[in-house]
Structure 1
Amino acid sequence: MEPIAPPVLGDKALINEAELRAYSPKQVRPETIKHIHFIGVAGTGMGTLAGMLKTSGYRVTGSDQGIYPPMSDQLKAWEIETMTGFDPKHLNPAPDLVIVGNACRPSNPEVQYAVEQGIPCTSMPRAIHDFFLADRHSIVIAGTHGKTTTTALTGWLLESAGLKPGVFIGGVSKNFNGSFRLPEGKYFVIEGDEYDSALFDKVPKFIHYAPTYAVLTSVEFDHADIYDNIDQVKAAFLELMKRLTKDGQLWVCNDYPHGLDVAKTTKAPVTTYAASGMPELRATNIRLSEEHVAFDVYKNERKVANFRSPMFGQYNVANALAAIGVALALDISPEEIQKGLDTFEGIKRRQEIYARVGELIVIDDFAHHPTAIKVTSAAIRERFPNRRIWGIFEPRSNTARRNYFQELLPKSFDACDRVLLGWPFHFDKMEEEERLDIHKVIQDLKDQGKDAVAFPEVDQIVDYVTAKARPNDVILIMSNGGFGGIHRKITEALATRFQEK
């Protein structure tokens, strides 16, 4: 790594962001690194990268304010030494490199100490590039929705075809038994997030991933804590488009106008795809069964093949189309693609059947945006057309608990028969004028004829469901967090009730 002179701090108590940005190293030279320390190791992406580097042979340590399952279990399995809290002593003796998570602030004592001591620091996405992407063809899967599933499926299609790709996923892949696969071949499939990289690296993470190929699943407003409007979100994706060259390729979903606008700016060849309409790569003749979704794929007027996928919902057909498009471009045959689809086991917390209580089914899903809620519940309705479906949602993300989607959120539960809402996460820490009006959401749902209730406590939701559930119901729980352990609590309470009968 090129030596970087640390800023002169003088008597200041805190390091400001401008100084930290100036301190960020230009590039990591992996051959010079032995010991890497993570500040904020328990985040999904940070923990995954820690596991990759440990598995690659580096000494890895990490600290975080709280380290909980499932990441704590993963870090333990990788034999990564972790420390609770942030303390300069965690960096003594000094590591060769510090990777700073994007949740860390300038006041973090480990960040301050690293800068004061001249210990090289970098961001998570920059480290991913420098350690794993520099000499490979990067396939970046980006977009507001569907990128985790599309990344996992694309990676698995390449793996199933024998290409031995690197894979980095923002979720837990059942096929890879985790969130990553170390690369052996020339391709690396990576989930590209538009969130910022670090306090000294204020660019979207995907900017660092140097895409050869890219998929743009969707562009909608999200991440209200760092973006003020859709134009700012589009500006982030426009930067990704600049990184594609005429020798690369982009696949963009035809269902999202903002995505199509962004795609017009790239120099790379562009292929539109969707499960409806007339894009260049499209699915037609979609057929449902209890086990899979079957469809025919056409590229322009030429039929490519018939495929079947284990993932339900029209949006998942679109996700499959994106992965199929990438695989075809890499000369993977339709027969090999179907083998990958047949053996794809999915992602944890994506339409995942959490438990069965007799005939009753509890499903866990990560949906936290109105569009994701709408398409996920519609997919569950497709899969279970003759059952009563409960939609239980926790407004937890920085966008969902704000009033930006005040009017749109009540329209997202069309496929649900009953709707229960939890209280928005950390509501008391938000400015009142920004808060989602949960009572108005419930009233709007009732005006649509929905049976809808909101509860401030998880245990109240559990009691309500337990009292009113029927043996054939489907309980769809949607949150991007733990939702107070509601999945286990509901399952145990329903098991007790129906066993007593």
Structure 2
Amino acid sequence: MHIHILGICGTFMGGVAALAREAGHRVTGCDAGVYPPMSDQLRALGIDLIEGFGADQLALKPDVFVVGNVVSRARLPDGQPKFPLMEAILDSGARYTSGPQWLAEHVLHGRHVLAVAGTHGKTTTTAMLAWILDQAGLKPGFLVGGVPLNFGVSARLGGGSAFVIEADEYDTAFFDKRSKFVHYRPRTAVLNNLEFDHADIFASLADIERQFHHLLRTVPAQGRVVSNGGDEALERVLAQGCWSELRRFGPVLADFIAEGEPGDFSVLAYGQAVGQVRWGLTGVHNQNNALAAIAAAEHLGVAPADAALALGGFLSPRRRMEVRGQVGGVTVYDDFAHHPTAIRTTLDGLRRQLDRQPGESRILAVFEPRSNTMKLGTMAAQLPAALKDADLAFCHVGGLGWDAAAALAPMGERGRTAEAIKPLVAQVLAAAKPGDHIVCMSNGSFGGVHELLLAGLAAKG
């Protein structure tokens, strides 16, 4: 089969492309801004990439066009279509489908799907679960919204019956407004947490809760739902109906709980101590991610003790508190956090770790409100609380339609803003001193801020 993927350089669609190629299909694709590292990864797999969405690509005549949710029926100011190829596909009557639908029909069907959903921690928990199953000899397939360092790739078919997938609640395509995860039909569903997000497509938290319940409706009676027992929104979702075996993790009285610090803790399953997790990860959020992965793996017969032992060798995916370098005693991290809760938990985890070390260490948070939700200013008022563990916070405010300086005003001199990357970097370099930890947080490339900071620190001497 020849498939041509529209929006192939996105993390999810790039994963679909890799899986299709591994399965023996001919894969081509297009995107706007075809650049490394995704372009290099795809070309290394023998996938031809085309820059842009020109209508001339219709001449490729693939068996099916696979459409990413970056594609729309939008028009440019001059009235021309933003995606001419999509218009040509519709006009010609050519066959097209969405990425999640193609994945469900050609990869997931007939396999034991383990889907990891939630506002936060999906990528990390998916990678943890895939690693546990791999170490148990189950040879799982997986599709992760990042690159797990344990595997070095974001997706693989796997040789076993299990397939672990990051289950996103964002909509499927312009012609299918259901959440992506509704297509996956999991036998094991992990519900990590649930908050309001994606203000560009959801009007309220209740709207997202409804989509999560649609996911629950697809889990069979012999399946398992693993849910965060401390999350009120998830409890409301479960109250709408749950027809599968239910296991809770997190707080006291849950089926799976943790005792100890996030970097070294005991795992209790059903009231009994069953294992110990010792690793290099920080934060209570990662402790909860571990419990979720252990509870999900148990559904496939992996003993919690073995799962806990496997996590001792787990490495975070790229861009999850990834150390990009250390110069002059200053450490620079790259993190994907962009929602206020993710920012707060990331900084809290680092603060806990630093407080256990001798000497005084400052945290300098450098972030950009880049997600659609943050660009709308929906959660601007939550930023000062999210940044409470930062000694200084630097916000890139270019292109925002709301006043970030006013939002950070409660932080006083600790909160600073800049309209462009270079002035932002200059502010950070002027403030940085040996022993500092600079955490750069964005769900985009952030203008190469990490390399600029490291180069500036080196020049500073």
TM-score class, shorter: over 0.9
2:28 counterpart of 1:58: no
Name the stretch that deviates more: 88-97 or 141-150: 88-97
Give the deviation of 1:334 after TM superposition: 4.2
Q: Which runs of 4+ in 1 moved over 4 A?
A: none
Task: Quote the sequence identity (%).
Answer: 37
Alignment partner for residue 207 of structure 1, among 182, 185, 190?
182
Q: Is the 8 A contact 2:276 2:305 kept in 1?
A: no
CA contact under 8 A between 1:313 and 1:380: conserved in structure 2? Answer: yes
- How many angstroms apart in 1 are the aligned matches of 2:108 and 2:56? 32
The structure 2 residue matched to 1:153, chosen from 103, 128, 137, is 128
Report deviation, 1:280: 2.1
Name the CA distance, whole Å, in 1 between partners of 2:297 and 2:258.
16
Give the distance between the partners of 1:65 and 1:326, measured in 2 at CA. Answer: 37
Counterpart of 2:171? 196
Q: Distance in 1 between matches of 2:44 and 2:351?
A: 38
Matched, 1:476 2:446: no
Q: Normalized against structure 1, the TM-score is what?
A: 0.87
SS at match of 1:297: strand
- For residues 354 and 376 of structure 1, the distance between their equivalents in structure 2, rounded to whole angstroms, comes to 16
Superposed displacement of residue 43, structure 1: 1.1
- Do the aligned partners of 2:66 and 2:99 also contact (CA within 8 Å) in 1? yes
Q: 1:68-89: per-residue Cα shift (whole Å, max 9, x none)? A: 2221121121121011111222
Shift of 1:339: 4.1
What CA distance in whole angstroms lies between the structure 2 residues aligned with 1:317 and 1:287? 8
What amino acid does structure 2 have at the position aligned with 1:301? G
Residue in 2 that maps onto 1:12: none
What is the CA deviation profile of residues 111-167 of structure 1, one whole-angstrom value per residue up to 9, with x for unaligned ones? Answer: 222233332111000111111111101101000000100000101110111101110
Task: Give deviations 1:434-487, integer Å, cap 9, x for gaps.
Answer: x432121221221xxx61111111111111121221111000110011111111
TM-score (norm: length of structure 2): 0.94
Mapped to 2, the partners of 1:54 and 1:175 lie a distance apart of 21
**Distance in 1, Cα, partners of 2:436 & 2:365:** 11
- In structure 2, how many angstroms separate the alpha carbons of the residues matched to 1:246 and 1:436? 47
1:341 corresponds to 2:318: no
Match of 2:268 among 283, 295, 298: 298
Residue 262 of structure 1, CA deviation: 0.8
Letter in 1 for 2:174: L
Query: Which residues in structure 2 correspond to 1:54-203 (within 5 Å)?
Result: 54-106=21-73, 107=81, 108-203=83-178
Q: Is the 8 A contact 1:309 1:320 kept in 2?
A: no
Residue 436 (1) aligns with residue 402 (2): yes
1:243 to 211, 218, 225: 218
Matches within 5 A, 1:225-264: 225-264=200-239
CA distance in 1, matches of 2:281, 2:290: 8
Give the one of 415, 428, 434 matched to 1:452.
415
Tell me which amino acid in the other structure corresponds to 1:365.
D
| Separation in 2, partners of 1:271, 1:437 | 43
Q: Does 1:312 align with 2:282?
A: yes
Q: Does the CA-based 8 Å contact 2:275-2:308 persist in structure 1?
A: no
2:368 is the counterpart of 1:394: yes
Asked if the contact 1:137/1:212 (under 8 Å) is kept, the reply is yes
Matched, 1:270 2:246: yes
What is residue 23 of structure 1 aligned with on the other side?
Answer: none
Structure 1: runs of 5+ lacking an equivalent:
1-33, 428-434
Question: Do residues 328 (structure 1) and 303 (structure 2) align?
Answer: no
Distance, in Å, in 2 between the alignment partners of 1:210 and 1:310 is: 33
Structure 1 residues 157-166 or 322-331, which shifts more?
Answer: 322-331
- Counterparts of 1:308 and 1:263, CA distance in 2: 32
Residue 486 of structure 1 is matched in structure 2 by 449
Question: 1:335 Cα deviation (Å)?
Answer: 4.8
In structure 2, what is the Cα distance between the partners aligned to 1:66 and 1:312? Answer: 34
User: Equivalents in 2 of 1:161, 1:210: separation in Å?
Assistant: 24
For 1:409, the equivalent position in structure 2 comes to 383
Q: Distance in 1 between matches of 2:215 and 2:304?
A: 29
Q: Deviations over 1:20-47 (max 9, x none)?
A: xxxxxxxxxxxxxx21101111111111
Q: Does the CA contact (< 8 Å) of 2:295 and 2:304 recur in 1?
A: no
Pick closer, same or farther for the CA change 1:93–1:417 going to 2, 3 Å.
closer
Deviates more, 1:208-217 or 1:69-78: 69-78
Structure 1 residues 195 and 287, CA, compared in 2 at 3 Å: closer, same or farther? closer
